[in-house]
């Protein structure tokens, strides 16, 4: 392969959202030329990539044309045109993570079957073609409330997930191919990001603890390190590494877990790329997840994942009731707090619960970081 750390090396990134933006920023530190493809001409990464191409990463011809002259392709979103990246890989352009991993991961049904085949713990599930099959299974007593229905393709950030608690909720059943799994009661949610390079070297970040906004069903804040026992931390890292090894993935893999009431770890889902649950690593770890992704796809040794300080990450979401040209309120009050680091993604239009940015709050103790994060959430408003 060509020398990667050189301004001659052209890294193509499919997707130009916030993850693409932060990946470009890390690549820039290593003097790598980044070329980003995204349908939105004002995508977050458009201002920081070396070259930006407006076009759909879901379209075969657009992806093929975009890839001309590039030395390697990576992704910041799973929903890319899979046939195109497979063809590019066959033609000799490294595509990392590999399309074979994307094929499994982008389909939540195939993901769950993969966990079963590889003895990876996950909530029991069944696959269905449509809503009437799900209803039949309920009538025949094969599945019982409460349960969770997830569409197999194109779900993200809680879209495409139905938590069905009662008969009334069944009116909302998705009428597309889906999986239905047991509802994990009172689960604690954690995530572990693991990296793996072509030499098989792996490295895990300490687990983070996720706290959800119940209305938007989005991660509202995330604490690093998670408040879990050493024993659970060890099991979670081992499972994350096994998942990455069984997939054979080269790059980052974010593994989301439920910890149930019996303290059992269950894999919820994985993402083959930098992840929301790793944003804090930019400031709080010796190596950011973005640099770690580059190290993995370029075949370098993983960087240290040791933490410098406890941190809380909060998503800066569009406030309810506001849509249109974005205005941020409370910036100065928030920036007066020691340890607050703001990342504004540069999306021009806000709408309720849209991810517009994030803040990482560093403090000496997790409690202090959580307290400050609470202030940031209450003070910073995203209006129009
Ligand atoms: P997405 O891919 O959209 O992030 P997830 O599969 O992670 O979707 O589901 C979103 C959220 O819904 C989870 O983080 C969790 O809070 C809740 N959830 C999903 N599956 C279950 C489950 N089996 N039991 C309990 N809660 C669940």
303-361 per-position pLDDT tens digit: 999 999 999 999 999 999 999 999 999 999 999 999 999 999 999 999 998 999 999 99
pLDDT at residue 159, as a whole number: 84
- Architecture of the domain defined by 10-95: 3-Layer(aba) Sandwich (3.40)
- Over 70: is that where the pLDDT of 189 sits? yes
Q: Residue 285: what are its φ and ψ, rounded to 5°? A: -120, 160
For 188-383, CATH number out of 3.30.1960.10, 3.30.470.20, 3.40.50.10710, 3.40.50.720 equals: 3.30.470.20
pLDDT digits (tens, 9 = 90+) for 132-155: 999 999 999 999 999 999 999 987
pLDDT at residue 154, as a whole number: 82
Lining residues, ligand 1, CB within 6 Å: 123, 148, 150, 155-158, 161, 181, 183-184, 187, 189, 212, 217, 256, 268-269
The token pair that represents 378 in the structure block: 């209450």
Please give the distance, rounded to the nearest whole angstrom, from the Cα atom of residue 296 to the centre of ligand 1: 28
- Over 90: is that where the pLDDT of 169 sits? yes
Atom number of ligand 1 nearest to Cα 266: 23
- Over 90: is that where the pLDDT of 241 sits? yes
Please give the distance, rounded to the nearest whole angstrom, from the Cα atom of residue 159 to the centre of ligand 1: 10
Q: Where are the alpha helices (DSSP H) in 197-320?
A: 230-247, 281-284, 289-298
Provide CATH 3.40.50.20 ranges for the chain.
Answer: 10-95
pLDDT at residue 216, as a whole number: 62
Please give the distance, rounded to the nearest whole angstrom, from the Cα atom of residue 93 to the centre of ligand 1: 35
User: What is the C-alpha separation between 202 and 199, in angstroms, rounded?
Assistant: 9
How many Cα atoms are found within 13 Å in the side-chain-facing hemisphere of 152?
Answer: 20
Provide CATH 3.30.470.20 ranges for the chain.
Answer: 188-383
Atom number of ligand 1 nearest to Cα 217: 11
Cβ-proximal residues to 82 (8 Å cutoff; 6+ apart), any chain: 99, 102, 103, 106
Mean pLDDT of 232-252: 98
Cβ-proximal residues to 272 (8 Å cutoff; 6+ apart), any chain: 75, 78, 97, 101, 102, 105, 247, 249, 251, 252, 253
Q: Are 370 and 310 in contact (CB under 8 A)?
A: no
User: What is the C-alpha separation between 263 and 335, in angstroms, rounded?
Assistant: 38
Distance of CA 13 to the CA centre of its chain: 15
pLDDT at residue 4, as a whole number: 75
Atom number of ligand 1 nearest to Cα 160: 3
Nearest to 266 by CA among 223, 230, 227, 236: 236
pLDDT at residue 2, as a whole number: 61
Placement of tokens 């390697």 in the chain: 72
User: What is the value of pTM for the model shown?
Assistant: 0.95
Provide CATH 3.30.1490.20 ranges for the chain.
Answer: 124-182
- Architecture of the domain defined by 124-182: 2-Layer Sandwich (3.30)
β 178-182/161-164 pair status: unpaired
Beta-bridge partner residues of 246: none
């Amino acid at each position: 392969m060509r020398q990667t750390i050189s301004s001659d090396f052209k890294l193509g990134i499919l997707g130009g959202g916030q993850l693409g933006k932060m990946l470009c920023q890390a690549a820039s530190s290593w003097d790598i030329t980044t070329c980003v493809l995204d349908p939105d001409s004002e995508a977050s990464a458009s201002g920081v990539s070396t070259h930006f191409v407006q076009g759909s990463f879901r379209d075969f011809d657009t992806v093929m044309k975009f890839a001309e002259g590039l030395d390697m392709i990576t992704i910041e979103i799973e929903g890319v045109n899979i046939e195109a990246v497979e063809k590019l890989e066959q033609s000799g352009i490294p595509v990392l993570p590999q399309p074979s991993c994307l094929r499994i991961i982008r389909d939540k049904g195939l993901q769950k079957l993969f966990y079963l085949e590889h003895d990876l713990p996950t909530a029991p599930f069944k696959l269905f073609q449509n809503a009437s099959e799900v209803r039949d299974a309920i009538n025949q007593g094969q599945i019982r409330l409460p349960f969770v229905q997830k569409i197999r393709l194109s779900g993200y950030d809680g879209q495409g997930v139905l938590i069905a608690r009662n008969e009334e909720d069944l009116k909302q059943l998705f009428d597309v191919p889906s999986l239905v799994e047991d509802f994990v009661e009172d689960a604690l949610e954690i995530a572990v990001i693991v990296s793996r390079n072509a030499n098989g070297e792996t490295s895990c970040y300490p687990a983070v603890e996720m706290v959800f906004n119940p209305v938007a069903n989005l991660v509202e804040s995330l604490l690093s390190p998670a408040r879990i026992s050493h024993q659970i931390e060890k099991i979670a890292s081992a499972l994350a590494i096994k998942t990455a090894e069984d997939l054979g993935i080269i790059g980052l893999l974010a593994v989301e877990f439920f910890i149930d009431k019996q303290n059992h770890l269950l894999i919820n889902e994985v993402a083959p790329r930098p992840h929301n649950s790793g944003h804090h690593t930019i400031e709080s770890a010796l190596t950011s997840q973005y640099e770690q992704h580059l190290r993995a796809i370029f075949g370098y040794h993983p960087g240290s994942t040791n933490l410098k300080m406890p941190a809380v990450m909060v998503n800066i979401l569009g406030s309810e009731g506001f849509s249109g040209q974005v205005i941020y309120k409370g910036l100065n009050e928030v920036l007066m707090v020691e340890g607050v680091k703001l990342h504004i993604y540069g999306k021009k239009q806000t709408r309720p619960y849209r991810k517009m940015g994030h803040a990482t709050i560093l403090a000496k103790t997790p409690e202090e970081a959580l307290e400050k994060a609470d202030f940031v959430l209450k003070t910073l408003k995203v209006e129009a």
